[in-house]
Amino acid sequence: MEIAVLKNSGEETGRTLSLSADIFGIEPNDHAIYLDVKQFLANQRQGTHKSKQKAEITGSTRKLKKQKGTGTARAGSIKSPTFRGGARVFGPVPRDYSFKLNKKLKVLARKSALAYKVKDSSLLILEDFTFETPKTKEYIKILENLSLSNKKTLLVVSENDKNTWLSGRNIQNTKVVTADALNTYDVLNAESLLLCESSVGIIENLLK
């Protein structure tokens, strides 16, 4: 599977890069994608939500009225959920939403997400580049050259490049990640996936 390598200017370099069909050319598995994205979003949840139970409400413990003879329901505490200011019935408590998935399934999900990008012609290979200093304007210019200024993009670099990350940090709908941190959610969430040339080999080694 050959894909043309582009320059930052949007022009073709005249070279092509061969992508592994075992990774970028598989038949996507939608259920694997669903599970991986579900796990990713669940792991982002802090789970710190909390409402007070009956024992935690501040209030008098005096019995409000006599048990019988009032013509209304019995009531033993002002902290009852039936009264205003009382406890909440079955309210949320702190919990951990994370769950585990098999490594092979996660690999399949990432392969499927990449395969979808290839099928949709939403994957571009860029010649490796760096910024001497953080320059947001230069990053925006690259997106304009590629006709991606109004699209949600994900740039995958081979290793941590602080200047590149800082250059794209303040641009809306733009994200920069390293190849070893690539995940299914980010790939699918981006309208266009930009892979630096040197990052392709790292991705293929991780997913083979």
pLDDT digits (tens, 9 = 90+) for 4-29: 999 988 888 889 999 999 999 999 99
pLDDT band (50, 70, 90) for residue 1: confident
Domains in the chain: ranges and CATH: 2-45+98-207 (3.40.1370.10), 47-96 (no CATH)
Task: Say yes or no to pLDDT of 201 above 90.
Answer: yes
pLDDT at 38: 97
pLDDT at 149: 87
- Rounded CA-CA distance 45/78 in Å is 34
DSSP label at residue 126: E
Tokens of 173: 């709908």
CA dihedral 17, 146, 190, 160 (to 10 degrees): 70
Tokens of 107: 């690999």
User: In the chain, pLDDT over 70 holds for what percent of residues?
Assistant: 100
Task: Say yes or no to pLDDT of 176 above 90.
Answer: yes
Mean pLDDT of all residues belonging to the chain? 93
pLDDT at 61: 85
pLDDT band (50, 70, 90) for residue 184: very high
pLDDT digits (tens, 9 = 90+) for 38-96: 999 999 999 999 999 998 999 888 999 999 999 999 998 999 999 998 999 999 999 99
- Rounded CA-CA distance 171/162 in Å is 15
Q: Indicate the residue type of 28.
A: P
- Which whole-number Å values give the CA distances from 179 to 56, 68, 157, 182, 195, in the listed order? 48, 71, 6, 5, 9
With CA atoms as reference, report the closest residue to 195 among 155, 163, 159.
155
For the segment 109-114, the average pLDDT, to the nearest whole number, is 97
